[in-house]
Structure 1
């Protein structure tokens, strides 16, 4: 009986010592690692053929360690449908600190109208300074967007200045004819002598 009680006390003592060592030495604690949240956003309200489209990428580190060797690559803009007006489709950031964010913008110009799928960009990085495994993720996906032709856009949103000028030029002859007729008529009445009223003779 005493032996079993002694073994129970020794087991409790060993277990408490192990728990204390885990708490003090940090065994089993989650290591510091970077974690990136990435977004891709199209800023234009209307996508028009031949006009600039601004695309912005945002990277935010919500982890507890800096993200190293961060590379952002977007393969969603093919040369058949878009031309790059400004910026680069592949960019590198050496370090993104915990709680920090970075942004990158490009300007693309669609060469044809139609429906296009704006896919996600790829993000790769090292989650910690001692890590050798590259973490790969993706940005948010804007989805499908319609690029309208320049002609349709002008029909809907153009101020039609040229059309108004043509309308005014066509309206001038009609107004001029009426003005000349009015001036001719009024000049006849103005230049005509006023009739004089003579006094009648009195009879004796």
Structure 2
């Protein structure tokens, strides 16, 4: 009878052991470096007509232990299409501590028109508890439309203003008033019958674009 009860409990015991092993395995995996790589690419049209490609890659260690002998490789850019202008497509770091981040960038140039699909960068690092190198990949990038036809940018045009500053003098207040005025062509031609605005402070003051004089009622 006791043996039969033991046989009935055996499946539950095996499940408990398997669950415990899974928890231990998960705990051991959580104690290793978790290296994430984010890759960004930007395009800029040069005055020479070439396309400049700027590549930037950020590495983050989201794990709880240090990653050693970290290497970054992003040399999948076709040499028939792209030319390295500055920087290098590979980079190494001695280590990457938990919570730390590093960045690397380089610049390419292309004179070949067309759509190019870039590949993720490859990151390799060493874990002290494992003999084999660990490998990770960066985030993918969108297809690059090299030397694509782009609509011209709209530019704001500055319209020159023809107004000139003039001063109006109020005799009773002795305060100059700064008023913008448009040049009066009829006055410039010697006409004395031109219409003008007036300003009244106990005494009317008539003004044109070029003269200001008091007028008695």
Same fold (TM over 0.5): yes
Q: Comparing both chains, which one has the higher relative contact order based on Cα–Cα distances under 8 Å and sequence gaps of 6 or more?
A: 1
Q: Structure 1 residues 39, 47: closer, same or farther in 2, change over 3 A? A: farther
Please provide the CA RMSD for this pair.
3.2
Q: Which runs of 5+ in 2 are unaligned?
A: 3-19, 156-217
Shift >6 Å, 4+ stretches: none
Q: Give the secondary-structure state (helix, strand or coil) at the position aligned to 2:117.
A: strand
1:33 corresponds in structure 2 to 32
Deviations 1:5-24 (A, max 9, x none): xxxxxxxxxxxxxxxxx9xx
Residue 78 of structure 1 and its aligned partner are, at CA, apart by: 1.2
137-146 or 93-102: which moved more?
A: 137-146
Residue 90 of structure 1 and its aligned partner are, at CA, apart by: 1.1
Residue 39 of structure 1 and its aligned partner are, at CA, apart by: 1.1
Q: Give the secondary-structure state (helix, strand or coil) at the position aligned to 1:30.
A: helix
Task: Give yes or no for contact 1:47–1:147 (8 Å, CA) kept in 2.
Answer: no
Distance (Å, rounded) in 2 between the aligned partners of 1:51 and 1:133: 40
Q: Which runs of 5+ in 1 are unaligned?
A: 5-21, 160-204
1:156 aligns with 2:160: no
Residue 43 of structure 1 and its aligned partner are, at CA, apart by: 3.0
Alignment map for 1:102-181 (pairs within 5 Å): 102-126=102-126, 128-148=127-147, 152=149, 156-157=152-153
Task: Give yes or no for contact 2:51–2:147 (8 Å, CA) kept in 1.
Answer: no
Residue 66 of structure 1 and its aligned partner are, at CA, apart by: 0.6
Q: Give the secondary-structure state (helix, strand or coil) at the position aligned to 2:33.
A: coil
Tell me the TM-score normalised to structure 1 length: 0.57
1:64 corresponds in structure 2 to 64
Task: Give yes or no for contact 2:50–2:147 (8 Å, CA) kept in 1.
Answer: no
Greater percentage in strand: 2
Between the two proteins, the alignment pairs up a number of residues equal to 137
Q: Structure 1 residues 86, 28: closer, same or farther in 2, change over 3 A? A: closer
Tell me the TM-score normalised to structure 2 length: 0.54
Distance (Å, rounded) in 2 between the aligned partners of 1:137 and 1:58: 13
